[in-house]
Amino acid sequence: MIESVRIVKGKTSIETRYYISSLQNNARKFGESVRSHWGIENRLHWVLDVGFREDDCRIRKDNAPQNFAILRHILLNLLTRKKTSKTGVKNKRLRAGWDDDYLTNILAVAAN
């Protein structure tokens, strides 16, 4: 169990979260593990929202939301593997939509 205290604009909120773990009773290591997990999770969701506007997606019917989430993750992996430019994911995605040669190059990176 972790109790987190958050202060935003002078308002304090306390949240209790429960976890199942095989870690021994080491509060410091457990806290680091939880923060690390949420850090990765938050960065991934931020990239998906900024690069793919995931939060604005209106796909709601049947299995479509899960299918599109899988496609976004695959595309994110392909775009991050392309290291020829220091362009962000959003710009790489847009360029792939405009430039067939660039899209082919991204897909060729995946084949290797």
The one-digit pLDDT tens for each residue of the chain (112 residues) are 888 898 999 999 999 989 888 878 788 888 888 888 777 777 788 888 888 888 888 888 999 889 988 988 888 888 888 777 778 888 888 998 999 999 998 888 777 7
Domain that residue 52 falls in: 24-111
Residue 92 in any domain: the answer is yes
Measure the N-to-C terminal CA separation of the chain; round to a whole number of Å.
44
Number of domains in the chain: 1
Sequence-distant (≥ 6) Cβ neighbours of residue 12 within 8 angstroms: 5, 6
Residue 18 in any domain: the answer is no
**Element (H or E) spanning 41, and its range?**
helix 27-52
What global pTM score does this model have? 0.60
Residue 6 in any domain: the answer is no
Neighbours of 96 (CB within 10 A): 20
